[in-house]
Amino acid sequence: MNSSPILIWLRRDLRLADQAAFHAAASTGSPVIPVYVLDDETPKHRRMGGASRWWLHHSLISLDADLRAIGSRLILRRGGCEDVLATLAEETGAREVHALHHYEPWWRNAEKAVGERLLLHLHHGNYLAPPGSVLNGSGNPYRIYTPFWKNLRERMPPSVPLDPPSHLPAPQAWPASDALDAWGLEPAAPDWASGFRAEWLPGEAGANSRLDDFVGEAAQYQAQRNLPSIEGTSRLSPHLHFGEVSPATIWHRVASAGGSVQTFLGEIGWRDYAQNVVLQLPQYGSQNATSAFDALPWRSGPEAEADLKAWQQGRTGYPIVDAGMRQLWATGWMHNRVRMIAASFLIKHLLIDWRRGEEWFWDTLVDADYGSNAVNWQWSAGSGVDANMFVRIMAPLTQSPKFDAAAYIREWVPELANLPTGEVHDPLFRPAGYPRKIIDHAEARARALVAYGVMKERKSAEIK
């Protein structure tokens, strides 16, 4: 038996079940040292936002407890991944590192750097199929979702999930570990996470509990997913993002539910699609995929900044938008239909660059995923490779009653809680403390269409 320890490098794969790196390392019989590196250097401006850091804190606590139950523990270190792992290898005599593939541009750079200094074994397991492996007839990756999903669907089901290891051999001596509390991942002054604690249970056990709850509802997904007052979505997105449950595990648990479960599976496929897009276009979170949108005259200056702040605070005077933004701040999550409405409102009603919204979601969402966040914002803006048309301007005051959001609004906008259903979506008389509309819908629509026309004229002039 090889007595040299094996390092397991953890990032967004904080689970034991169906975790190929743990499985491969355990099968060698060598001592295993799981390590999480808090690396804010490699991602630079893409370091995790506040909501994600709160989740990470509790997910690491959960994983450490699970590891201790099988004779192991979690080592915490902070710094650049390649330097930290190389130092750990020197301290422990480890010769190999096992990890799951990650596809964000900064993690791909980090994997290359680690691989140049250590023997790095990368495994798949964060997606239904390895990003970049679903190809069209010409051998190229897809940029449009529908043919991508059709091809991916034909390759399903995914492999049967791996069982968690029952034991991990420990090294003769554990290397030093940082204290988790010293990382300051939880908010202190002010403590804005009380709603998070009431809403979420980060960790593998929490993911399994959430999945258990959803299995019985999966057949009704199509009918319920667009109704904010019911919240008929799975709410598995943060658990998936942090790798506390694998997409293969979810697939095998829900695929036989019947009803409209295929719609839900398509949403899991959208997550794969988003990662395939950023694999091809690494700067998708900061650059328009359609270059014509570089010429769109977004609003800027003090008035636009005041409107952005009103949107962030849920003070636009549009109840469905305000409810969503307040839910986001309180819980780190927003209903999927309302995310679309709120994103469209920022882009088209307020004519504020989609990147400002993407930045806000990156900081405030517990499921802030680079691929999904970027692809969804560019879909809303119309600038993406597969996107909604900019001229299709979503009407919040129509969306709200259409999707029966009255109870949702009453919950998150208490100023309107006593209004009857017929008025809560767009109250004619504003209760004390609730603002007037930041802009009239017709005025906002006209302004957006003018800006779109300017963009087309500028692009046409460039071509000439």
Q: Are residues 34 and 93 in the same domain?
A: yes
- The catalytic residue among 54, 251, 354, 362 is 354
- Burial (Cβ within 10 Å: 0-12, 13-18, ≥19) of residue 46: middle
Dihedral angle computed from the Cα positions of residues 323, 324, 325 and 326, in that order, rounded to the nearest 10 degrees: 50
- The catalytic residue among 336, 362, 376, 412 is 336
Q: Which residues pair with 120 in a beta bridge?
A: 97
Give me the phi and psi of 37, to 5 degrees please. -105, 120
Q: Are residues 425 and 297 in the same domain?
A: yes
Q: Are residues 55 and 43 in the same domain?
A: yes
We report the CATH number of the domain holding residue 53 as 3.40.50.620
Res 232: pLDDT: 86
Q: Are residues 118 and 132 in the same domain?
A: no
- The catalytic residue among 186, 231, 267, 423 is 267
Res 88: pLDDT: 98
Q: How many domains does the chain have?
A: 3
| Final residue belonging to a domain, choices 101, 125, 149 | 125
We report the CATH number of the domain holding residue 325 as 1.10.579.10
- The catalytic residue among 270, 329, 362, 412 is 270
| Final residue belonging to a domain, choices 280, 314, 339 | 280
Res 1: pLDDT: 44
Res 189: pLDDT: 86
Q: Are residues 210 and 223 in the same domain?
A: yes
Res 231: pLDDT: 82
> Does some domain include residue 174?
no
Q: Are residues 299 and 442 in the same domain?
A: yes
> Does some domain include residue 9?
yes
Domain range holding 153? 127-157+205-280
We report the CATH number of the domain holding residue 137 as 1.25.40.80
- DSSP one-letter code for 430: P
- Burial (Cβ within 10 Å: 0-12, 13-18, ≥19) of residue 3: exposed
| Final residue belonging to a domain, choices 280, 315, 339 | 280
Predicted model pTM = 0.97
Q: Are residues 444 and 306 in the same domain?
A: yes
Q: Are residues 231 and 302 in the same domain?
A: no
Q: Are residues 244 and 327 in the same domain?
A: no
Neighbouring residues of 337: CB distance < 8 A, sequence distance ≥ 6:
225, 226, 227, 228, 399, 403
Q: Are residues 307 and 450 in the same domain?
A: yes
Q: Are residues 296 and 425 in the same domain?
A: yes
298 is catalytic: yes
Neighbouring residues of 325: CB distance < 8 A, sequence distance ≥ 6:
311, 312, 313, 314, 316, 334, 342
> Does some domain include residue 197?
no
270 is catalytic: yes
Instruction: List, run by run, the mean pLDDT of 10-residue segments along the chain (464 residues).
Output: 86 98 96 98 95 98 98 98 98 97 97 98 98 96 97 97 97 97 94 96 98 95 93 94 98 96 97 98 97 97 98 98 98 97 98 98 98 98 96 96 96 96 94 96 98 92 71
